[in-house]
Structure formats: structure tokens, C-alpha cells
Amino acid sequence: MSGQNLELWVEKYRPRRLDEIVDQREIVERLKEFVRDKNVPHLLFVGPPGTGKTTAALCLAYELYGGLWRDNTLELNASDERGIDVIRSRIKEYARTVPLGEVPFKLIILDEADNMTGDAQQALRRTMELFSRSTRFILIANYASKIIEPIQSRCAIFRFQPIPKGDFAARLRYIAEREGVKVLDEAIEAIWEESLGDMRKAINTLQAAAALNSVIDADAVYRALGKVTPAEVREMIKLALNGDFLSAREKLREALYSYGLSGLDIIKLVYREVTSPKGLELDERKRLEILELIGEINYRLVEGADDEIQLNALLAKLALVGGRGKV
């Protein structure tokens, strides 16, 4: 597995039919109705990265056209080709051509459409009107607010949700089994914590971890990601709260220089440990004080303050907060 190209690997396990898509049940059922009627409106797929938007569009094309789906589908990444010239030339030329087969229209899939310029979106709106009989558009975006209202009103909007943890874990285990790699439950948990429903990121992480070890555990996952483990972050916070500032500072420097993390990366890890139900055992007042400190340091880092100085200040304040009792 480690020697394979990620894109080829993802393509190997990409569903070909709508029934194979993990989760998104309601969306799949609505798309299957369009396939049965051979009548698809303009579509807008919206949701977080890695939740199956592009896969659903390609599965819809495959269900509609069968073996002719590549001849009747134009797929463009709007983040690369987002200018008005692309709309006026390439998309219009393709929209004018006659579809092959029984379906009376072709498909144009515009991935990352929320990266298109305003002028390009205005031109696209007009193109959608002119060629609506011979062409249907599927626009894919992470943020619906970045798509102009005239385009939104011309599309049926499908909102994709992050993949639930159960389906997420089952899919990773399926891929690992097919590749002959043993993955432990703790590794699945670690991948889930880092990707939060983004299946593309999860598969990438699984492949990187498999290159390090044939048995994938949580440590292999964090090494593949180049991140400190939650246990190390938890230990740093505990040392600070127990008043051992110098030892906590050594842990911090290891994270900054050995792992190459930025101050904002570390702040996010500290925040996750403080708010996690599996993290530190703190009384609520102390937890609230720490969260207030994290917010203050995060603001300073965003404004351009020095990472190490501000994170040392955080550890010093944690030592003061923890001075009322051991953690």
C-alpha cells in the first residue's frame, strides 16, 4: 500500500454506484429518483471536505450514462480554472455538443465552485440558462455563502454532513483489510480525532501510517501526521498545573522544534485536551479559567506575537491556576 499513489488508491476504492456510497442516505435516495426519471436539475452539492460530494457526482454520472459516462461528462476544478474565459470558451463549447445515448443532456461537474470569481459566476448563471435543455450542471462547494444567489436559486441544493464515526471506521477497516494491513482500534480513534469526518484526509493518513508500520497503532498515526500525541500534550499541561514549569517548558520546546509545530497548532492541541471528555480531570471553574487563557494567547498569536514567548506565558499562567491543588 505504501508504494501506491494516493489518487490511484482512492480511485480503486471509490464507489461506482450510488448504493455504494457510505452514509448520506437521504441524498442518495433523492439522486436515485433523478436517475430513474432520467431528469436531473442543476445541482449544488455543499458540505465539508472529504464527505463524498465529488464521489456522489461521479456516481450519478455513472448511473445515468453507464459505459458512456466519460463521453457525456466534463469535470473541471474551478479553483484552477475559475476565470470568465473558461466559462466563455471551454464550458460553452462543451454545452453546445449533442449528448450520446438515451439521456437527453450532458453533465458538467464544477468542483470547488466556491473559488470561482464573481464575474465567472455571473457568466455561468447565463450559460446555465441558455443551455439548460442540453446540459445539466453539478456545482460542488464547501461554502454555499460563496455561491451567488442567482446560481443557488437555479439549483437543487444538497447539503452533505460529516461522515458518522461508525461508517467512517467501517470504511477504514474495509480498506485496511483489502490491503492486508492490520489497523488497531486506537489507530481508528486517532484518525477520527484528526480528520473529524473527512474521509479523504483519513485515507491519506492511513496510507502514510501503513508506510511506517505493518500494524497501525495510534503512535504510527501521529508519527505519520508529524504531530505530538494527546498524551504528550496532556503531560505538558499537567506539569504546568502542578507547578513544574521548567519540565513543561521542555515538553513545549520539543513540540515546537522536534515536531516543527507552530504556536497555533499547539494552542489547538491544548484546547482539545482541555475540552475533551477523555482529557484532563478538572473542576469546571479551573477549566473555564484555562479556556479564557487559551483564548487570550490564541489572539496574541494571530496578531503576530512570538510563539515561544506566548506559549511560555500560557504555561506560567497554568502554573498559577494550578497552584491551588495538584492535578
Q: How far apart are CA 160 and CA 26, in angstroms?
A: 10
Q: How many CB atoms lie within 10 A of CB 165?
A: 13
pTM of the model: 0.71
Residue that has been written with the C-alpha cell 506560567 in this structure: 316
Taking phi first (over 0 means left), then psi (-120 to 50 degrees means alpha), and beta for anything else, what does residue 304 get?
A: left
Q: How far apart are CA 122 and CA 54, in angstroms?
A: 23
What pLDDT does 51 receive? 85
Of the chain, the end-to-end C-alpha distance in Å amounts to 43
Q: Which of 126, 128, 125, 129 is nearest to 137 (CA)?
A: 128
Q: Which of 302, 314, 305 is nearest to 271 (CA)?
A: 314
What pLDDT does 327 receive? 45
Strand partners, 140: 45
CA distances to 40, 43, 68 from 107, rounded to whole Å, are 9, 10, 12
Q: Which grid coordinates belong to 55?
A: 464521489
pLDDT < 50 regions, the chain: 1-4, 6, 9-10, 13, 325-327
What pLDDT does 324 receive? 55
What pLDDT does 81 receive? 58
CA distances to 15, 27, 94, 159, 288 from 43, rounded to whole Å, are 20, 12, 18, 11, 44
Q: Are 94 and 124 in contact (CB under 8 A)?
A: no
What pLDDT does 4 receive? 47
Residue 142 is classified by DSSP as S
SS3 157: strand
Taking phi first (over 0 means left), then psi (-120 to 50 degrees means alpha), and beta for anything else, what does residue 290 get?
A: alpha
What pLDDT does 75 receive? 85
Q: How far apart are CA 194 and CA 74, in angstroms?
A: 33
- Give Rg (Cα) of the chain: 24
Q: Which grid coordinates belong to 79?
A: 479553483
What pLDDT does 311 receive? 93
What pLDDT does 149 receive? 92
CA distances to 64, 86, 141, 223, 282 from 325, rounded to whole Å, are 66, 64, 49, 34, 11
CA distances to 146, 247, 268, 301 from 265, rounded to whole Å, are 27, 20, 5, 11
Q: Is the dihedral of CA 119, 125, 127, 130 positive or negative?
A: negative
Residue 147 is classified by DSSP as S
Q: How far apart are CA 327 and CA 240, in angstroms?
A: 10
What pLDDT does 15 receive? 55
CA distances to 263, 297, 300, 304, 313 from 309, rounded to whole Å, are 10, 10, 11, 12, 6
Q: How far apart are CA 253 and CA 266, in angstroms?
A: 11
Residue 18 is classified by DSSP as G
Q: How far apart are CA 184 and CA 323, in angstroms?
A: 39
Q: How far apart are CA 115 and CA 2, in angstroms?
A: 32
Q: Domains plus CATH for the chain? A: 24-159 (3.40.50.300), 165-225 (1.10.8.60), 230-324 (1.20.272.10)
